[in-house]
Amino acid sequence: MGGIAKFNCLNCGYTEEKIGFGHGKHAEPHLQIYCCNRCKTVGSTWVNGDEQPRCGICYEEEITPLETKNTSLNCPRCDTLAVLAILEDTWD
Ligand SMILES: [Zn+2]
Ligand SMILES: [Zn+2]
């Protein structure tokens, strides 16, 4: 089952609402949340099994996969500590 995450940086105001993660009826492919330092975004992309996840926007391979739990990470835009919040909503 999937969930929704929200990224919010209080310092520069960069926000990504509704970042989907997890999977639907089948285990694969699944949505992996990542942070891309090339195009400076936080988002999620579909990954199949052991495939190398790529940025959904610029196709960069050197992205940082993020945990699907509430976590703090450095904002890709201003490099200040920001929050990735996992919301209750689920989808399938
Ligand atoms: Zn920021
Ligand atoms: Zn990118």
Task: Give the domain extent around 58.
Answer: 2-91
Domain count, the chain: 1
Q: How high is the pLDDT of residue 24? A: 86
Q: How high is the pLDDT of residue 89? A: 67
Q: How far is the centre of ligand 1, averaged over its atoms, from the C-alpha of 20 (Å)?
A: 20
Q: How far is the centre of ligand 2, averaged over its atoms, from the C-alpha of 1 (Å)?
A: 25
Q: How high is the pLDDT of residue 13? A: 98
Low-confidence ranges of the chain (pLDDT < 50): none
42-71 per-residue burial string, b: 16 or more CB within 10 A, e: under 16: bbbbebeeeeebbbbeeebeebeebebeee
Ligand nearest, relative to CA of residue 73 = 1
